[in-house]
Structure 1
Amino acid sequence: RDLSQSDFKNRIMPHTQLLVAPQRNDAGFFSLEITGGASVHVDMLRKQMSPLEKLEVLSANMPDTLFQTLCRGVNLFGYRPYPDNVIRLTVRSFARWVHVWRVFDFLNHIPNMVSVFEEVREAGAILEPSICFSTGPEHTDAYYVRKVGEILEVTGEDILLCIKNHGGLGTPRRIGALVGAIRERYPELVIHYHGH
């Protein structure tokens, strides 16, 4: 999703993706982030297609591959908050084909992600809550460890935690220190990294 979003404005058509579906399916990826973020509205507004139909077709051609999405919490795949019933219906609709949900709130406000967390759990999908990395004076290891604790209060430890370096501000040394701090407090937690 990030490559197509950054390099091709999410305009890679499903028939193009189908050309490489067998190779992607056989590659052994943990998951493919195939939808979410801007790709959903680009599917509807630019490609004039249903993002759900796209997922159905691609899933049929990559049956051994988990599909992943990026969800902006209460903003879903858009840029403004949506009502709770819309959030829940949207997650239920996408969860038929999406197996891994990376969920974030750009302000690390955990309540903005709870409805998505609940629906992802109800669907039996893999939940990957994210903490968004930044470099302000308040963004200390203690701050992030506290945010991880807030997430775990809602989800329990049966998650994949993501450190989302969406601004590209985290250096390897800084991210490494943060991972160490989280591991010290939560040694069993699986941590993923997502960077731009």
Structure 2
Amino acid sequence: MRKIEITDVSLRDGIQSLLATRVRTEDMLEIVEILDKCGFYSLEVWGGATFDVCLRYLKEDPWERLRKFKERAPNTKLEMLLRGQNIVGYRHYPDDVVESFVKKAYDNGIEVFRIFDALNDTRNLRKAIETAKKVGAIVKGVLSYTISPVHSVEYYVNIARELVDMGIDIISIKDQ
């Protein structure tokens, strides 16, 4: 039987949802150490708005944040939410920028990439998935889930098949 693993998202989605991501790195380091001892599969600590907020509002280096988290969580994989071709930004970036970003994130401690496109357009996921697999990372392909007349079980099964064909390791379901 396959195992269900738990990823803690409180340091990325929790603070993004509740505090607009405006929590300084130094204020999270102690909890990173505690979470590392809990036995989670991974800690989602980066991605989404974290990169932008570190730079724009907190005046912090997002890469340094990642390295500090990795130092304090030696037993748990670090994970990031990657917006496919948008990376952590608000527009599409060229393939070479996606490749460079994914490689740099991996080199700085990200071991699991949870890669999504809000519209489930798998063309926007291909380069990020390919690059993450090439560097040796674990890839979670995301089904962005919503309920509507066009979002049938068959629709999601087809998206999941496309993700599996791209070489993902894990299917992740993300609510919109």
Tell me, yes or no, if structure 1 residue 151 matches structure 2 residue 163: yes
Q: Point out the structure with max Rg over C-alpha.
A: 1
Equivalence for 1:129: 141
Tell me the percent identity: 31
Equivalence for 1:164: 174
Deviations 1:43-64 (A, max 9, x none): 1111112211111111111111
CA distance in 2 between counterparts of 1:153 and 1:62 reads 32
Equivalence for 1:194: none
Equivalence for 2:99: 88
Q: CA deviation at 1:95?
A: 1.1
Equivalence for 1:10: 21
What SS class does the counterpart of residue 90 from structure 2 fall into?
Answer: coil
Moved over 4 A (4+): none
Taking only aligned residues, the RMSD between alpha carbons, in angstroms, comes to 1.2
Equivalence for 2:125: 113
What is the TM-score with the length of structure 1 in the denominator? 0.80
What SS class does the counterpart of residue 149 from structure 2 fall into?
Answer: coil
Q: CA deviation at 1:90?
A: 0.7
> Does structure 1 conserve the Cα–Cα contact (< 8 Å) formed by 2:130 and 2:166?
no
Equivalence for 1:138: 150
| Stretches of structure 2 lacking an aligned partner (at least 5 in a row) | 1-11
Q: CA deviation at 1:94?
A: 0.6
What SS class does the counterpart of residue 124 from structure 2 fall into?
Answer: helix
Q: Residue type matched to 2:35 in 1? A: R
CA distance in 1 between counterparts of 2:139 and 2:100 reads 17
Q: Residue type matched to 2:27 in 1? A: T
The residue correspondences of 1:66-105 to structure 2 (distance < 5 A) are 66-96=77-107, 97-105=109-117
> Does structure 1 conserve the Cα–Cα contact (< 8 Å) formed by 2:36 and 2:75?
yes
CA distance in 1 between counterparts of 2:147 and 2:72 reads 42
The alignment of Structure 1 onto Structure 2 pairs a total of residues equal to 164
